[in-house]
Structure 1
Amino acid sequence: MKKLAIFDFDGTLIDSVDDVVVSFNMALSKYDLPTLTREDYIGYLGGNIDEIVSLVLRDKSTPENIESFKKVYLDFYESSKKEATVPFPQSHDILERLQQNDVSLAINSNRFTYSIELFVSKFFSDIDFIAIEGHEMDFPSKPDPYGLNKIIEKANVGLDEAIYIGDSITDIEVAKNAGIDCVIVRWGYGNEEDWENDYILEAVDDFSQILKYFND
């Protein structure tokens, strides 16, 4: 039986792409670069913000351009209302049910930690996460297991007692690198290849399908 549920954030608990694309396109327009569709941006997801910006900039990607563009993008994003960013259906319900069953809950994401905490306070304020490990510039990001390892150590559980729930290949890779089981959700930003990956326990269409891993 699993005792610790670690969740990815964007694409798993939260649908955030549309607000991000708007801010990216505002930054791209400022630099006179081609703008993105929702599908374009989803194809770039997986890494931390520097890696995503590098992909967005394509042949204009240099360390200097990444830093400059990132600042412009973050200014647009952080000043926006982010009204299109909302939890996926059942996100709060499944967290609440797991919490009521004394399952330890945590988040490991490549979104900045402070940004995750803002959305958690808005949408999941009654959920007691034991840890929120987002991207911090001085530490490795997913698929490096740095954040997962910190959470597992804090929870004081065995690797076989932890499970990672995400939506994409990056989540599969970080779970594999940490040596824990992984379940993938189909409603996020992954694809058929991710859903058929040999490493995952399964790809679920409904959040309630993960409850069986926490039953005696």
Structure 2
Amino acid sequence: MSASMRAVLFDLDGTLIDSAPDLAGAANELRSVHGLPELPFERFRPMVGSGARGMIGVAFDVGPDDERFGPLRDAFLDRYEHRMTRETRVFAAVLPLLDALDRLGHPWGVVTNKATRFTEPLVRSLALHQRARTVIAGDTTAHSKPHPAPLLEAARRVGLEPSQCIYVGDDLRDVQAGHAAGMTTVIAAWGYLGIGEPIESWGADHIIKTPAELLNLLAMA
């Protein structure tokens, strides 16, 4: 691996972990409370990167400007908090990548827009807190992605320049934040990806289809 590219920072949902089953489950539980039938999992999965806004949008066709959004969001988050570790797992193909980074002595960390309320217990339940050099949640800094502040704070905590870090994510905001922070940006094509413009239009430095490809990028950096 190149000495110039020394750390990898990951988005959480859709990049390191598959949290879609619990997020979709919480949304369908809330639909049931409102007397509505469950929606197929495939409807929810692409929108997981948009968090509660995405889940409420799919489940109730309600956006943030709707007066119903706030109460629905709060009820959804309460339900999600009670089940968020039930089905969520680290992506199986990501585990060998983390093992390789640890073995090679390259620090890695997490930068997510998920609030600390959810991030900390979730990361602990998956035993990632014992391995990640840093975990930055959506409320760790004054701004969340696509602002660069969370990524810059992560670089500071691992003791490296932003230019020595790669940021891997599955949402346009991840690419925007990474570029603004001066990091190399990588799209995880196994992630949730949304339903907007094709990922090729996001302007990332690289797109990888499998976690193993990241080691090749690091070796060529």
TM-score for the superposition, normalised by structure 1: 0.83
- How far apart, in 2, do the equivalents of 1:126 and 1:81 lie? 16
Equivalence for 2:96: 93
Match runs of 1:11-160 below 5 Å: 11-32=14-35, 36-49=39-52, 51-52=53-54, 55-56=57-58, 57-59=60-62, 61-62=64-65, 65-80=68-83, 82-125=85-128, 127-136=130-139, 139-160=142-163
Q: Is the 8 Å Cα contact of residues 176 and 199 (structure 1) preserved in structure 2?
A: no
| 2:205 paired with 1:201 | yes
Moved more, 71-80 or 40-49: 40-49
| 2:16 paired with 1:8 | no
Provide the identity percentage. 24
Query: What per-residue deviation string (whole Å, max 9, x for no partner) do you get for residues 81-131 of structure 1?
Result: 743211111222211211222212110112222422223223234743222
| 2:168 paired with 1:165 | yes
Q: Name the SS of the counterpart of 2:118 in structure 1.
A: helix
Unmatched 5+ stretches in structure 2: none
Moved more, 97-106 or 184-193: 184-193
Equivalence for 2:180: 177
Q: Is the 8 Å Cα contact of residues 116 and 140 (structure 2) preserved in structure 1?
A: no
Q: Name the SS of the counterpart of 1:132 in structure 2.
A: strand
Equivalence for 1:210: 214
Q: Is the 8 Å Cα contact of residues 46 and 170 (structure 1) preserved in structure 2?
A: no
- How far apart, in 1, do the equivalents of 2:29 and 2:56 lie? 16
Q: Name the SS of the counterpart of 2:198 in structure 1.
A: helix
The total of aligned residue pairs comes to: 214
Q: Name the SS of the counterpart of 1:107 in structure 2.
A: strand
- How far apart, in 2, do the equivalents of 1:9 and 1:212 lie? 21
Q: Name the SS of the counterpart of 1:75 in structure 2.
A: helix
Q: Judging changes above 3 Å, is the alpha-carbon distance between structure 1 residues 131 and 8 closer, same or farther for their aligned structure 2 residues?
A: same
Unmatched 5+ stretches in structure 1: none
Q: Name the SS of the counterpart of 1:110 in structure 2.
A: coil
Q: Judging changes above 3 Å, is the alpha-carbon distance between structure 1 residues 154 and 28 closer, same or farther for their aligned structure 2 residues?
A: same
Alpha-carbon distance, 1:138 to partner? 7.8
Q: Judging changes above 3 Å, is the alpha-carbon distance between structure 1 residues 28 and 126 closer, same or farther for their aligned structure 2 residues?
A: closer
Instruction: Provide the alpha-carbon RMSD of the alignment.
Output: 2.8
Q: Judging changes above 3 Å, is the alpha-carbon distance between structure 1 residues 39 and 141 closer, same or farther for their aligned structure 2 residues?
A: farther
Alpha-carbon distance, 1:198 to partner? 6.0
Q: Is the 8 Å Cα contact of residues 167 and 188 (structure 1) preserved in structure 2?
A: yes
